[in-house]
Amino acid sequence: AALAQGTLDAARLRVQAARAPHVEEDRATVALERNRLDARSLRARLDAAKRSLAATWGSDDATLDGRALGEVSADLYQLPEIQEFAPLVERLQSNPDFLRFVTEERLREAELRLAATQKRADITIGGGIRRSQETKDIGLVASFSMPLFAGRQARSAIAEAAARRDLVGVQREAALIRARAELYALYSDLREAEARVAALQATVLPRMEEALKETQYAFERGRYGYLELVDAQREFLDAQADRIEAATQAQLLITEIERLTNAPLANP
């Protein structure tokens, strides 16, 4: 909108000086109004996003602890120093998704030990006194019981428990392989996004800004027409949008990597 306003001011001066047709001022006016409408639409989307965010903690309006959500002060383009890939792989072990496998493996080990104890037959010996109602006699009674084929039944239970324990290890290894592949994909995308942000900030945007200034200067003096100026503005704004998109993608990738590794990505 600020660029469009500057273009309108310059076009109006050209028209007043009879160096350009009046249609240039009309086109610049339309462009300014369209940019203002876009800005108004974005503000409405921002307000809706704030309310949606506040709804996650049960607030009906965009407030937190009774205070309105203000402007975000973080720097979108400030990316942390990225570590090498190998330390990130080591951090996967501390992810809660993998710690649950350790708990489950301990449970299966306990089941295996319990099954092993059943290999020995439980011998039951009992005794007591019995009185016969017919003869009025009293006698001592002893009992002895031992399950048959206890060892054979225990071996099948032990094999089943061992299989369940081994299955946990296989599932854990499979999940770890998938997580490593996902981590590598995220890491590669982050490196690419980081390089794109750096290139746009260091090379592309400064040159595009300088080209826009030169085009603006030439337009004000009648050497360039309205279309040349609009093209230069569009290219400059597209480069800025590319930087925003690349930096946003990098921040989202950082969040995913930190979630997967259960630790901050930045070096201490």
Q: Please write the tens of the pLDDT for every residue from 57-83.
A: 888 788 777 778 877 677 888 888 887
Token pair belonging to 192 = 């690419």
Q: What's the distance, Cα to Cα, between the start and end of the chain in Å?
A: 41
Q: Which residues pair with 127 in a beta bridge?
A: 142
pLDDT the model gives residue 160: 73
Looking at residue 268, what is its pLDDT? 45
For residue 100, what pLDDT is reported? Answer: 63
Query: What's the whole-model pTM score?
Result: 0.66
In angstroms, the CA 78 to CA 230 distance is 30
Helices (H), the chain: 2-16, 22-55, 85-91, 96-117, 150-199, 205-220, 226-261
pLDDT at residue number 149: 54
Of 263, 87, 84, 91, nearest in space to 176 by CA: 91
Neighbouring residues of 238: CB distance < 8 A, sequence distance ≥ 6: none
Tell me which residues of the chain have a pLDDT lower than 70: 72, 96-123, 127, 144, 146-154, 161, 168, 267-268
Cα separation, 178 vs 165, in Å, equals 21
Q: CA angle, corner 194, sides to 90 and 198, nearest 5? A: 145
Whole-angstrom Cα distance, residue 10 to residue 16? 10
